[in-house]
A and B are shown apart, each in its own frame.
Chain A
Amino acid sequence: MSMKKKGMGLLAAMLASTALLSACGGNENKTSEGTGTPEPSSTAQASASAQSEQPATEISILSIFYQKEPPAAGNEILKEVEKRTNTKLNITWVTPNNFNEKVNVTLASGKLPDLTLVTDTANAAFRSMAKQGAFWDLTELIKDYPNLMKFPDVTFTNNLIEGRLYGVPRVRPTEGNAQPLIRTDWLEKLGLSMPRTMDELYAVMKAFKDNAPDGKENTVGLSGYVNQDNMGQLGFIEDAFNGTAGKYKVVDGKLADVTFEPSERQALEWLRNAYADKLIPQDFALLKHDQAKDLIFSGKAGIFPDKPNQIPGMLQELKKSGQAQADLEWVSYLEGPNGKFASKGNGHFGMFVIPRNVPEDKVKKLLAFLDYGASDEGHELASYGRPGVEHNLKDNSYELTEKAKNDPSFQFMQNIFMKFDKYANLGTGLPADKLAKERKLIDEAAEVSVTSPTNGLISETATTSGSDYSKKIQDMKTKVIMGDKKLEDWDKFVEQLKADKTYLKILEEFDAAYQARANAK
């Protein structure tokens, strides 16, 4: 305990000096808007308040991080964030492994940090807590924060729990999802053009297999895998046939289960043929993500469904494997029997909740803090650091300094600070002409993209038995594709599902929730 206190004292001293510096520097501070009376003072604030008018707000945060390591105490960018937002941050960084367990025990302990990240917002326990009033209802409050309000509608809609918003979403781009990345150099070599329809895609896969442009034995056209309860990386094929993302689509204003649609059967037939023709890995049911991806790197597959932001990294790996001529392009949409299709993301990756026992004044400060993170300035600081120190501007693009490149915790603040950027799913460091081309692809996709209509909706029955059905359906699909079962078996299976009352109840409940949300607008 005493150790901890000593550390706090040290931090307080550091903070006081930071506050002093910032007061002298006359920093542009956006947090002043919408703040209330000062917090009850602690030692840190007492010393800080002597220097500046607004004492620094102490904020505790529980967040995930994807850097090599979290920032060390006294990290300069962290200090800069504190300075610019007039806060004193106490962040618990949690590794993505077992993040949910950490959140669960934290929720159960009743002592939540001011901002707690919940990544799985569909989780039943979390939803019941929200409904029971564990967190601040931000539906109205958030409207005062212009940068947060720049998040697209889907980001908010998908995070509503019975029409209310219980946290600040971590915004994510909606366009640019896992769709085929195709070796365009192979296409050129074989005199083919980018496929636009499912038949064309099939033809390209077949050409890749038959001609093995890399001269590798056992070349397959497309690499991918399935998960235990969904089609995994092969999902876009199903989606392109069904014309919707995921399991449900909207038909005449009502939800329909694509499992019952003829287009699903067509998708299975397509995949079944592809498997029989050895155009997809014969191990697709066993492969994990990186194993499937490795087939691309070793030149044994020419197509892999993924986000366009993977392209630069993949090209680098291909180059290392002696394929400098390799080039990849993201397919912006594919045309199936239901028209053009591109997948639209749900626009978020979890949200930060604020426990109910935080006073309203502080809630506003917390929102202001996150609002700064969603501003251009906050975004720049989180993603590229400070000008002249971590980055230099060159031809309108950011060039990271050596210092930034060697910092194992660089960009740590991105885990908390996000702004909405439509093109954020494109890779970084692209040459200008390529970037322009890829941006066009994103725009193309945006015109036709469809999101899953059940995003953010809940069905009690789905919570308890949905995963059982998902798994059974996926088992059947896997067997049909592998040829262990016939398409007629699929038909029979679908008939059984159509007669299964529990299964139908899931659709009914989702439809009711969907209608409720549609009518509320």
Chain B
Amino acid sequence: MTTLRTLKRDLFLYLLVLPGLLFFLVFKIIPMWGIVISFKDYSPYLGLWKSDWVGFAHFDRLFSNPDFIIILRNTLAINVLSLLFFFPLPIVLSLMMNELRNKWFKGSVQSIIYLPHFLSWVVIAGISLIMLSESEGIINHLLAAAGYGRIDFLTNPDYFWGLLTLQSIWKEVGWGTVIFLAAIAGVDVQLFEAAKLDGAGKLRQIWHVTLPAIRNVIIILLILRIGHIMDVGFEQVYLMMNGAVSEVAEVFDTYVYRTGILQGQFSFSTAVGLFKSVVGLVLVILANRLSKKFGEEGMY
């Protein structure tokens, strides 16, 4: 009785979610059968069902690669650096922008910091070369003119991860603020006024009112991001990679591109993708548990 009544009461709610769920079912869940090919020797002609089963052969090939550990290390290192240094920056920047009082100024700053997002990695890589090249780069010309030695920013393995992180920050930090600014805009102004009446200073207002209000969005984004800890922006790494830095530059995405996609080995590419996804899933489950332990809503 009660279920029926609540069903009737919430009918509208179910109608709301129906189209979306249908979308996910058709375009996201049904294609998941494609993952089966990571256990097969897939041939487009034979199709999915007739292709031969090969069990874990593709995973074997991945794990028995002597470079597997190096690729794993590079992938994780680049992502951990990104989580530590890149992830918090848009939040900080949004908080700072929220404190701008001149509307025109605020609007201009917002528009400008979005710009680099629209440039492709090819352009960013080109600009990086102009700035950082050892023999011709602007920065090295300046260093040399100032009497310092030239620095091999682009061909020294020690700088490579840092270089990628800086590039990512440069390109995406502004764009990253979109979501947080929207979250901050949703904060009830009454809360700020109440805090002010209590005598809270600027920093305390931010700490006690703004941050808690956008905490939910931060946590969701963080968990989603953790799920992709095995993914590295392929194009960026591929463009910046060169013979001198390759042992710190090879990541799963470049490896799969070279050995799977270029060679038409769909099964192997999918198997590596599946491996990455499973690792991501485990981490997401852990992160979700952790966030619930701290009394957060979590993802599911």
Contact = CB atoms under 8 A, between A and B. Distances in A.
Contacts, number: 98
The 7 closest A-B pairs by CB, nearest first: A478-B243, A125-B264, A123-B264, A282-B135, A108-B44, A129-B45, A134-B45
A125 B244 contact: no
A120 B259 contact: no
A471 B258 contact: yes
B46 interface: yes
B259 A218 contact: no
Contacts of A110: 45, 47
Interface string B261-292: 01111101000000000000000000000000
Given A467-B258, A467-B263, A468-B259, A282 B243 contact: no
Interface string B45-65: 111000000000000010001
Nearest to B61: A464
A126 B129 contact: no
Interface in A189-236: 218, 226, 228-229
Given A125-B43, A134-B45, A286 B258 contact: no
A484 interface: yes
B82 interface: no
A478 B246 CA distance: 11
Nearest to B50: A132
Interface of A: 104, 107-108, 110, 120, 123-126, 128-129, 132-134, 218, 226, 228-229, 281-283, 285-287, 291, 463-465, 467-468, 471, 474-479, 482, 484
A283 B134 contact: yes
A484 B243 CA distance: 11
Nearest to A463: B263
B136 A283 contact: yes
Contacts of B65: 468
Contacts of A129: 43-45
Given A286-B154, A467-B258, A482-B155, A228 B243 contact: yes
Interface string B16-42: 000000000000000000000000001
A255 B197 CA distance: 86
Interface of B: 42-47, 61, 65, 67, 126, 129, 133-136, 154-155, 238, 241-244, 246-247, 258-259, 262-266, 268
Contacts of B265: 124-125, 463-464
13 contacts: A123-B263, A123-B264, A125-B42, A128-B45, A132-B45, A134-B45, A218-B136, A283-B134, A285-B244, A286-B129, A291-B126, A463-B263, A475-B243
Contacts of A287: 129
A484 B244 contact: yes
A124 B246 CA distance: 26
Contacts of A226: 243
B155 A471 contact: no
A484 B244 CA distance: 8
Contacts of A474: 243
Given A129-B44, A132-B46, A464 B259 contact: yes
Contact of A128 (B43, B154, B268): B43
Given A104-B266, A108-B44, 5 more contacts: A124-B265, A132-B43, A133-B45, A467-B259, A482-B244
Nearest to A285: B242
Contacts of B241: 228
Contact of B264 (A120, A283, A484): A120
A228 B242 contact: yes
A291 B122 CA distance: 12
A281 B155 CA distance: 14
B31 to A, nearest CB: 12
A203 to B, nearest CB: 23
Given A291-B129, A463-B263, A283 B135 contact: yes
Contacts of B246: 228, 471, 475
Contacts of A132: 43, 45-46
Given A125-B44, A218-B136, A467-B258, A283 B129 contact: yes
A478 B46 CA distance: 42
B185 to A, nearest CB: 38
Contact of A125 (B129, B154, B266): B266
A478 B45 contact: no
Contacts of B44: 104, 107-108, 125, 129
Contact of B243 (A120, A285, A291, A464): A285
Contacts of A484: 244
B264 A104 contact: yes
Contacts of A228: 238, 241-243, 246, 258
B259 A107 contact: no
A132 B47 CA distance: 12
Contacts of B259: 464-465, 467-468
B134 to A, nearest CB: 6
Contacts of A467: 258-259, 262-263
Nearest to B240: A286
Contacts of B268: 464
A285 B155 contact: yes
A286 B133 contact: yes
A482 B258 CA distance: 24
Contacts of B154: 283, 286
B137 to A, nearest CB: 9
A298 to B, nearest CB: 11
Contacts of A465: 259
Contact of B242 (A120, A123, A134, A286): A286
Contacts of A134: 45
A218 B259 CA distance: 38
Contacts of A107: 44-45
B128 to A, nearest CB: 9
Contacts of B155: 285-286, 482
Nearest to B156: A484
A125 B269 CA distance: 12
A438 to B, nearest CB: 34
B129 A124 contact: no
A229 to B, nearest CB: 7
A281 B136 CA distance: 10
B167 to A, nearest CB: 14
A403 to B, nearest CB: 35
A227 B46 CA distance: 35
Contacts of A104: 44, 264, 266
